[in-house]
Amino acid sequence: MQNILHALPYRFGNMAIGMAMLIVFLLSSCKKEDADEQQEYKVFLPANFPAPTYDLSQNPVTKQGFELGRKLFYDPILSRDSSIACADCHISFSAFSHPDHATSHGIEGLFGRRNALPVQNLIWQSSYFWDGGVGQMDFIPLNAITNPVEMDEDPVRVVAKLNRHPQYPGLFKAAFDGQDTVTGPQMLLALSQFMAMLVSADSRYDHYVRNEPGGTLNALEINGLEVFQQKCASCHATDLFTDQRYRNNGILSDFSLDQGRSEVSTLPEDVGKFRVPSLRNVAVTGPYMHNGKFKTLESVLEHYASGVKDSPTLDPLLKQNGQLGVPLTSGEKQALIAFLQTLTDEDFIKDIRFQQ
Ligand code: HEC
Ligand code: HEC
């Protein structure tokens, strides 16, 4: 297994490799001798969401596995010099995004190119990262650990550090197969158990669409929802608020710094296309866009109304009848902001189970 972890490329765009790796993972981590001692945790599957893409039956969430995953998420031991934890760039009160950072900085203060995405509702996603460079949730941590400007560490060394640690071997033993050695796949599965529980679907908007108590929207918010459905929902679609596709929304016309999806697909028609992000908790996840270009929701709406830049891959929805952008009156902007604020899920961002 160590050799396989060693050989992993920096990016995992290739689904075939992903699937083969997954099979190896499952074969090496399915023995559950202590299963009866483990307390199973139910992952919240909201009625207004589609079926999850992640197969929870292959990595059932237990109390022990979830708590272990949380400990790892908050532990800088995963980085080369033990200075950076996942949670330094993914902070609970901002839906696990990185507030005030246009692009994240990691080890030794080095800056990356991209804005940290929130960590929420991962089990419904079909791919991860702004360019979809990771196709399977379990592999996400490898990318962060090996990224030279994030944690800059070798996963094999991380596993060795965990094995030398006074607590981790016992915690892994309780969460997984009852054996004395911590393995790489177990580390990834524990982090996945923690991240699988990060479901955000209790905003005021959710209570409204599910007709639950407290689910009222005022006239301005309902007006905003209507504007949203007309002008935004073709891309920010479904109650996940993303169609999970890659599109160019015109924030730039020169993509030489970051080509987006084409860095994974290698197709010229994908230059400048980025994953349509979910807008859940969007009021607390700024700065916005893959490069953190906008600090406020007002400036995002200004962009759609009057800042869209033309380029060969600009989405046709943002260039209708030769007009760039989406026309928005000041009343519509105000209503849209009010609506977007109903997507904040206070229960999620304040949930103490997800904090250190
Ligand atoms: C130095 C800051 C930093 C650290 C440390 C970091 N991340 Fe991230 N994370 C990012 C950035 C930036 C992105 C977006 C990367 C991209 O799109 O290329 C991201 C993306 C993600 C995503 C993708 C979310 C989505 O919707 O696609 C997940 C999940 C995630 N990180 C989890 C983790 C975990 C787990 C760890 C620890 C093992 C970690 N991150 C460590 C900055 C960081
Ligand atoms: C043609 C598809 C499309 C339409 C229409 C569209 N968006 Fe977007 N939106 C995107 C894409 C793609 C991104 C990410 C672009 C990037 O980072 O390069 C994005 C990003 C955003 C972000 C930033 C989210 C974050 O976490 O960084 C917000 C907010 C947003 N859109 C709101 C809206 C609103 C409000 C409307 C309607 C007025 C709208 N969008 C219409 C495709 C679209």
Q: Are residues 181 and 243 in the same domain?
A: no
Indicate whether 181 and 129 sit together in one domain. Answer: yes
**CA separation for the pair 15, 304 (Å, rounded):** 34
333, two tokens? 């902007």
State the closest ligand 1 atom to the C-alpha of 290, by its place in the atom list counted from 1: 17
**What's the CA gap between 301 and 288, in Å, rounded?**
11
The pLDDT value recorded for residue 4 is: 37
Average pLDDT of every residue of the chain: 91
178/218 same-domain check = no
81 close to 154: Cβ distance less than 8 angstroms:
no
pLDDT in tens, 297-319: 999 999 999 999 999 999 999 99
Q: Looking at the structure, do residues 195 and 228 belong to the same domain, yes or no?
A: no
Note whether residue 355 is domain-resident.
Answer: no
**pLDDT, position 110:** 81
Q: What mean pLDDT do residues 244-248 have?
A: 98
88 and 229 share one domain: no
Q: Specify whether 37 is located in the same domain as 110.
A: yes
pLDDT score at 106: 82
Residue found under tokens 């990771």: 134
pLDDT tens-digit readout, 151-169: 999 999 999 999 999 999 9
Residues 149 and 69 placed together within one structural domain of the fold: yes
Q: Is the domain of 214 the same as that of 258?
A: yes
Q: How far apart are CA 130 and CA 128, in angstroms?
A: 7
Q: Are residues 40 and 169 in the same domain?
A: yes
pLDDT at 31: 46
Range(s) of the domain holding residue 335: 204-349
Atom 18 of ligand 1, nearest CA residue: 129
Q: Are 44 and 201 in contact (CB under 8 A)?
A: yes
Q: What is the pLDDT of residues 45-71, one digit of tens each?
A: 999 999 999 999 999 999 999 999 999
In the chain, the number of structural domains is 2
Would you place residue 21 in the very low, low, confident or very high pLDDT band (cuts 50, 70, 90)?
A: low
pTM (2 d.p.) = 0.92
Q: CB atoms < 10 A from the CB of 206, how many? A: 21
In Å, what is the CA distance from 23 to each residue of 7, 26, 29, 225, 321? 16, 5, 10, 43, 49
d(CA 307, CA 326): 10
Which range has the worst mean pLDDT, 110-119, 217-226, 267-276, 279-288?
110-119
Instruction: Say if 354 falls within a structural domain.
Output: no
Is 356 within a domain?
A: no
Looking up residue 211, the CATH number of its domain turns out to be 1.10.760.10
> Each residue of 169-196: pLDDT tens digit?
999 999 998 889 999 999 999 999 999 9
Which ligand number lies closest to the CA of residue 286?
2
Domain end, chosen from 168, 199, 230, is at 199
Q: Quick one: pLDDT at residue 327?
A: 97
- Cβ of 129 closer than 6 Å to ligand 1, yes or no, is yes
Rounded to the nearest angstrom, the distance between the alpha carbon of 224 and the centre of ligand 1 is: 31
